[in-house]
Amino acid sequence: MLIKIKPYISKLVVIIIFGITACQPSNDNSKNRPNIIIFFTDDQGYADVGCYGAEGFETPHIDRLASEGIRFTNFYVPATVCTPSRAGLLTGRYPKRYNLHEAVLFPFSEGGLSLNEYTMAELLRDNGYTTSIIGKWHLGHKEEFMPNNQGFDMFYGVPYSNDMDNYYYKEIDFQSPPLPFYRNKTLIESGPDQDYLTKRYTEEAIDQIRNRSEKPFFMYVAQNMPHTPLHASPAFIGKSEKGLYGDVIMELDWSVGEIVKTLKEQKIYDNTIFIFTSDNGPRIGSAKPLRGKKAETWDGGQRVPAIVAWPGKIPKGVVSSDFTTTLDLYPTLAKISGSKIPNDLKLDGLDISDYLLHPETTKLPERPFYFYARNGEMEAVRMGKWKLHIEKSRGWNLEESGVFPVSLYNLDADIGEKNNVVDQFPEVVEELTNTMKEFEAEL
């Protein structure tokens, strides 16, 4: 039956259709817009990956990922511990901008990531992506701050660190509950067997990939391991020469391999950006040859392994020493995905999409990077090869070594931050000191 539409109704339909399409991204073509996976480990050190010099265990799947993309050797996170580092990743902004830069959130904390922040998940969802987080959130366990209210369509995992499971905080007489395990806003388990966390997250990622919609997807796989207490499934116990820690890393490597294998089986690997990195330095792993570890603003606390692969787009087997950070991922993925960043949103990261696609011919600019300690104070700044430290709350023994001296290091020549050249370059010290003061004044 032929249905006639009156002229004024026809015009109305055209206006409505035009209005709807005008709100869509200009290149909203699911066949061309890449899927995005960020595989984020917890407390994995700079040297806790085979291609970064790991000892006592192997990571063949992560190493293969590096051979298929870019491996970064000067990649940093904006904090020394979990909560602020994850906040920086998802906002592209220093956590101090929204008062989430000090320490971490606990099961007794009332706050979380400000709902005024426009997260990477919100950005991508608003521009045609499905979004999911699998694993550890740690940006606020109260319902208002949970993932489903921060841009994620799906959440499968836990709200904070695995060591907070049923933990008693004697200083404030607070007993935390068994570790909550959620699917979206529904509590599905309390105190899960942590031996199987990595395996469960991997299986969930695979299931989501296989049952995806026609839209491109953003998947944030935030593993709990190798944060202590360490846990690995029975299939990986005894696998490494380095005991349980090596077993845990080998299971994480297996997880990367299983996800990549699924992408290939689904014939979408070539159109998926896969990013592997860690939230901060190691507590018990290795950051060699860097100085320091988790919770310290020495490079060992904030320089982490990082690999970005996108077959057919990013050149294979590149090792990059250019300075980059997790803050850069927000503007970079926005550009690559065709997502529009609000004009009034001030980001601290840099769009490095041109560099990823053409690393041999693109040069990234020098820019300052600020190191905030666990106590919330700025302790250091890096600009180019220079890193200036002005104080230390951790990683410096006040009783044995005395007051921490202002220290300057040439990281190109002294990656271990051992040779203080502060007296040789007073002009560099003055310039970097002023840079720190100006940034603090801005904030």
On the question of pLDDT at 7 being above 60, the answer is no
Q: Return all residues near 147 (Cβ < 8 A) that are at least 6 apart.
A: 121, 133, 137, 155
Examine domains 35-357 and 377-442 and report if their fold is the same: no
On the question of pLDDT at 213 being above 80, the answer is yes
- Return the DSSP state at 127: T
Residue 443 has a pLDDT of: 83
Q: How far apart are CA 209 and CA 263, in angstroms?
A: 7
Q: How far apart are CA 427 and CA 434, in angstroms?
A: 11
Q: How far apart are CA 147 and CA 73, in angstroms?
A: 31
Q: Work out the number of other CB atoms within 10 angstroms of the CB of residue 93.
A: 21
Q: How far apart are CA 396 and CA 420, in angstroms?
A: 14
Q: Return all residues near 395 (Cβ < 8 A) that are at least 6 apart.
A: 291, 292, 293, 295, 296, 297, 298, 301
Q: How high does pLDDT run on average in the chain?
A: 93
Closest CA to 382 of 318, 322, 320, 310: 322
CATH for 377-442? 3.30.1120.10
Residue with tokens 């029975």: 234
On the question of pLDDT at 349 being above 90, the answer is yes
Task: Pick the range with the lowest mean pLDDT from 217-221, 365-369, 395-399.
Answer: 395-399
Residue 32 has a pLDDT of: 85
Closest CA to 202 of 221, 187, 219, 181: 221
Residue % of the chain over a pLDDT of 90? 91
Taking only the tens place, the pLDDT of each residue in 216-251 is: 999 999 999 999 999 999 999 999 999 999 999 999
Band (4; pLDDT cuts 50, 70, 90) = very low
Q: Please calculate the CA angle 299-302-306 and round it to the nearest 5 degrees.
A: 110
What burial class does residue 114 get, using C-beta atoms within 10 Å of its C-beta: 0-12 exposed, 13-18 middle, 19+ buried? middle
Residue 335 has a pLDDT of: 97
On the question of pLDDT at 12 being above 60, the answer is no
Band (328; pLDDT cuts 50, 70, 90) = very high
Query: Once rounded to an integer, what is the mean pLDDT over residues 414-441?
Result: 97
Q: How far apart are CA 236 and CA 250, in angstroms?
A: 7
Catalytic: 51? no
Residue type, 356: L
Annotated catalytic residue within 61, 101, 138, 231: 138
Residue 330 has a pLDDT of: 98
Q: How far apart are CA 439 and CA 302, in angstroms?
A: 19
Query: Once rounded to an integer, what is the mean pLDDT over residues 52-79?
Result: 98
Taking only the tens place, the pLDDT of each residue in 179-207 is: 999 999 999 999 999 999 999 999 999 99
Residue 218 has a pLDDT of: 98
The sign one gets for the Cα dihedral 52, 55, 60, 61 is negative
CATH for 35-357? 3.40.720.10
Q: How far apart are CA 40 and CA 74, in angstroms?
A: 17
Q: Return all residues near 6 (Cβ < 8 A) that are at least 6 apart.
A: none
On the question of pLDDT at 152 being above 60, the answer is yes
Of the chain, the end-to-end C-alpha distance in Å amounts to 66
How far lies 148's CA from each of 139, 223, 442, in Å? 12, 18, 32
- Return the DSSP state at 235: G
Catalytic: 138? yes
Residue 31 has a pLDDT of: 59
Band (378; pLDDT cuts 50, 70, 90) = very high
Q: Return all residues near 351 (Cβ < 8 A) that are at least 6 apart.
A: 328, 331, 332, 334, 335
Residue 178 has a pLDDT of: 98
- Domain limits, the chain: 35-357, 377-442
Residue 399 has a pLDDT of: 87
On the question of pLDDT at 128 being above 90, the answer is yes
Annotated catalytic residue within 61, 82, 141, 389: 82
- Give pTM, 2 decimals: 0.92
Residue 237 has a pLDDT of: 98
Longest dimension (CA), the chain: 91
